[in-house]
Amino acid sequence: MSVEKRRSSINGVPIKNIERELICPICKELFTHPLILPCQHSICHKCVRELLMLNHEDSFDAGSECSMPGSPRSRVPSPSMERLDRLVRSGGCQGSISSPGWRRGSVTPRVTTIPCPGCQHDIDLGERGISMLFRNFTLESIVERYRQAARAAIAIMCNICKPPQQQEATKSCMDCKASYCNECFKLHHPWGTPKAQHEYVGPTTNFRPKVLMCPEHEMEKVNMYCEVCRRPVCHLCKLGGSHANHKVTSMSSAYKILKEKLAKSIHYLISKEDRVRTQITELELLISQTEENGQLAERRANEHFERLFETLQERKSEMLRSIEQSRNRRLDQLKTQVEEYQGMLENSGLVGYAQEVLKETDQSCFVQTAKQLHVRIQKATESLRTFHPAADPCFDEFVLDTSREETLIKEMCFGGVPDPPLIDLSNSRVYNEASIWWRLSEDHLPTDHHVLEYRRWEDGEDSGVWQATDKVYGPSAVVFDLDPDSLYSFRVRSCRNSMFSPYSPEVTFHTPPAPAFGFLFSDKCGFSTERLILNKRRDTVESVAGMAFLLAAERVQTGSYIGLDYIIGDTGISQGRFYWAFKVEPYSYMVKVGVASDSKLLEWFHNPRGTSSPRYDHDSGHDSGSEDTCYELSQPFTLLTMGMGKLFIPKASPSSSVSTANASSGDPGNRVLPMPQRLGVCLDYDACRVYFYDADTMRCLYERQVDCSGTMYPAFGLMGSGKVQLEEFITAKRLTF
């Protein structure tokens, strides 16, 4: 391999691609003695100490800085790993590194909680502090290989030879933690001595320990893997340490499983390289489309405002023209009236003439002249008595009220692209129909509508075809006719002023294996009003531990039987395949859920069968000597027991047709599961089989054969305090408001 090629790749992977995985998130440099936090993120040893706000500088850190392991010409060997572990253990418990003259009483209060820069969670290191953290030797080896590739052909020199005769190293001893040339190696590892048995490798500066030691038991090697804490442990941790009650597996098994998973994931990523390239092409196309659409949006905005300006300008010109015409007309009328009154002032000669006519004594001559004169004087007199302006000087009819238009213009939103909504997983439910809810950001502006899109996954791959609903004006939408037992992805986006928000993060739901079966709790068939409380909607039933139950508590502990209070659905199933879901409150003492035939219900309600505490119930999933013999191959009922925050998988007889999602059903530990938040039940009447699911993940927890000789009903049995609430989607079509 050429120098340039070695510089450019490690195992065929470009250095620049690997380097970002080898950078400490704190110091932004290559990892130096990284430690693994409980959250599985790695941080440099010195960075952990800085996060703990320590002021003491131990000799190891000083030595590591002086040795400069990252320098290609470093001749100082790396410090002893055993010495590092001693320093870490001696200082980790107290949150500091011991040094000569240091007194425990003088240290400031310990800080054992640090923020992880990877996941932003607070990590509590406990009383042992740093000493509880494993060193990430695998990451150290990769960093060292990266450094060697970066240094390319620069040789590692012998630590024994002295300049100027110093030779290039050909071997590195993992026990001596030093590198040697051929002659020095023979001199310091002579045949026939214990040193001849030392382990040596090619020249390297990474002297890691041969084995990983337990941080809690310093002399013990880790040989098991705790599945609960997800970390290696030793046999002492399992026998009497902090992992005594945890489920552990052998290191070889964990190695095999994790290696297969990692290899499978890597293979998947490699196999999807063409898909990644296609998606990159799609993203580049989206960038181009974004640029084009942005320019198009600018042009459209300019066009809208230009049309708005043109309309306003036209209306302005029209109004000004009307005002001008009205003003000219009124001025003409008023000027004409002024001229008339000016003429009245000029009639003073008429008055003098009339006075002279009055002096006429000849009657016939007076009448002849005075008649016409009287008409003229009477007209002038009437004008003075009834004065009215010829035009109104007020232009009130041209006063505009533009308040509404101004409000509309001010309400025009120019806030840019609206924020994407978020799908509300807690309220969304998916059956053969999907009810999807979403919520907007708290400071969002009003939106016009929303669009919900969905698509189906086929063979673990998305079909690529998104289907959209009509415009939605509320915070939810219903999608109909979904295929059973299928994966569907959903996303939603908002629209405001013709501008769409980005899509919400996609969420995936698994549809049930059958259509939803709608029913309510029956308040007629065997319902005990004394011990069971049914709400008005008949979708919730609650059992309260009464005095009789409390008095029988001592007898229950010895196996004395008390009765279950049964309640069923008001609708039965006589054919087909149906699914329903409900929630059992975690505080419930014991609740049995499943299906039962009408014949079995008559037996229960008329001749109540006694039962006991879950310990002695043959169908509860607890260990019982009689449990295996009590279960027949097929019965007209199947009930699963839930209570006290757990779900109990029944132990069936060897001849029964039963399967579970767990490991060996003979292991009691595998038959007790955490109670799911919601439980789903699927009855295949034609196949005479019933299934129980975790309704949130649609993982099948348990299934078995059931005798469907009659009408089958959803059945529930409660003992002690307990509460069962049907899923709203199951009851929605049954309730009337």
- Examine residue 178 and state whether it is found in any structural domain, yes or no: no
Report for 156-170, 490-504, 547-561: range of highest mean pLDDT: 490-504
What are the strands of the beta sheet with 565-568, ordered from one edge?
565-568, 712-719, 590-597, 637-643, 646-648, 672-674
| Reported pTM | 0.46
The CA-atom distances, in angstroms, between 517 and each of 162, 281, 287, 581, 729 are 86, 46, 47, 9, 9
* Cβ neighbours of 45 (radius 10 Å): 21
- Claim to verify: residue 372 and residue 257 sit in the same structural domain: yes
- Claim to verify: residue 271 and residue 290 sit in the same structural domain: yes
Q: The domain that contains 477 carries what CATH number? A: 2.60.40.10
- Claim to verify: residue 565 and residue 682 sit in the same structural domain: yes
- Examine residue 90 and state whether it is found in any structural domain, yes or no: no
- Claim to verify: residue 642 and residue 680 sit in the same structural domain: yes
- Examine residue 657 and state whether it is found in any structural domain, yes or no: no
- Claim to verify: residue 446 and residue 484 sit in the same structural domain: yes
- Closest residue by Cα to residue 99 from 52, 60, 53, 51: 60
> Domain total for the chain?
5
- Claim to verify: residue 506 and residue 528 sit in the same structural domain: no
Convert the pLDDT of each residue in 503-560 to its tens digit. 899 999 989 999 889 899 988 877 777 788 898 888 899 987 655 555 555 444 444 4
- Closest residue by Cα to residue 13 from 201, 205, 145, 207: 145
- Examine residue 221 and state whether it is found in any structural domain, yes or no: yes
- Examine residue 661 and state whether it is found in any structural domain, yes or no: no
- Claim to verify: residue 492 and residue 520 sit in the same structural domain: no
Asked if the model's pLDDT at residue 313 lies above 80, the reply is yes
- What is the rounded distance in angstroms from the CA atom of residue 198 to the CA atom of residue 185? 11
According to the model, what pLDDT value does residue 549 have?
Answer: 53
pLDDT-based confidence at residue 681 (cuts at 50, 70, 90): very high
DSSP 657-700: -EEESSS-TT-GGGGEEEPPSSEEEEEETTTTEEEEEETTTTEE
- Claim to verify: residue 555 and residue 692 sit in the same structural domain: yes
Q: Which residue has the higher pLDDT, 431 or 145?
A: 431
pLDDT-based confidence at residue 684 (cuts at 50, 70, 90): very high
Asked if the model's pLDDT at residue 129 lies above 60, the reply is yes
Residue 157 near residue 167, CB atoms below 8 Å: yes
Could you say which of 338, 367, 384 is where a domain stops? Answer: 384
Q: The domain that contains 143 carries what CATH number? A: 3.30.40.10
- Claim to verify: residue 277 and residue 379 sit in the same structural domain: yes
Asked if the model's pLDDT at residue 640 lies above 60, the reply is yes
- Examine residue 463 and state whether it is found in any structural domain, yes or no: yes
Report for 12-16, 94-98, 106-110, 372-376: range of highest mean pLDDT: 372-376
- Claim to verify: residue 572 and residue 477 sit in the same structural domain: no
Report for 147-151, 173-177, 618-622, 730-734: range of highest mean pLDDT: 173-177
Convert the pLDDT of each residue in 10-55 to its tens digit. 455 555 567 777 888 888 788 888 888 878 888 888 888 777 765 3
- Claim to verify: residue 39 and residue 127 sit in the same structural domain: yes
Helices (H) and strands (E) in the chain, counts: 18, 39
- What is the rounded distance in angstroms from the CA atom of residue 34 to the CA atom of residue 88? 12
For 37, the domain range is: 16-56+109-152
Phi, psi of 689, deg, nearest 5: -145, 145
Sequence-ordered list of residues with C-beta below 8 angstroms from that of 382, at least 6 positions apart, any chain: none
Q: Which residue has the higher pLDDT, 533 or 128?
A: 533
- Examine residue 530 and state whether it is found in any structural domain, yes or no: yes
- Claim to verify: residue 224 and residue 320 sit in the same structural domain: no
- Examine residue 191 and state whether it is found in any structural domain, yes or no: no
Q: The domain that contains 231 carries what CATH number? A: 3.30.160.60
